[in-house]
Amino acid sequence: MKKEQTSKKSSRRGFLTSFLKELNRRDLGSSTQNREQITQASVLALHHAKNNVKLTRIAIKTPKLLEENIYQVPVSGQDASGGQCSLELHIDCTTSRVEEI
């Protein structure tokens, strides 16, 4: 009987470890997608601040998720006159649309 019990324990342990690994893989997939979207939001914010608003010495803070694919990105930099300028952008990663707030 002891052989059956040890095999049950090891099979349970194997099930739990494989189950937990599977959960971690799912989390990694979603986190890599989130990282890609955060990177895309940061790049779009930098592009908008540099080309449309004409800022120099641009600082972009970490984008915050508002809705499913919409991020809020705080941006600061110097304008043409040398004054400090701060913007808050809403960026839609699916359509690459940027809105100033």
Give 46-53's long-range contacts (Cβ < 8 A, gap of 24+). Answer: 46/75, 48/75, 48/89, 48/98, 49/75, 49/77, 49/87, 52/98, 53/77, 53/79, 53/85, 53/87
Residues paired with 87 in a beta bridge: 75
The secondary element (H helix, E strand) that includes residue 75 is: strand 70-78
Short-list 46, 31, 99, CA closest to 71: 99
In tens, the pLDDT along 3-48 reads 555 555 556 667 778 877 776 665 555 677 888 999 999 999 999 9
Q: pTM for the whole thing? A: 0.69
3-state secondary structure (DSSP) of residue 19: helix
Task: Look over the chain and give the mean of its residue pLDDT values, rounded to a whole number.
Answer: 84
- Is 63 in contact with 71 (CB distance < 8 Å)? yes
Domain ranges within the chain, ordered by starting residue: 2-100
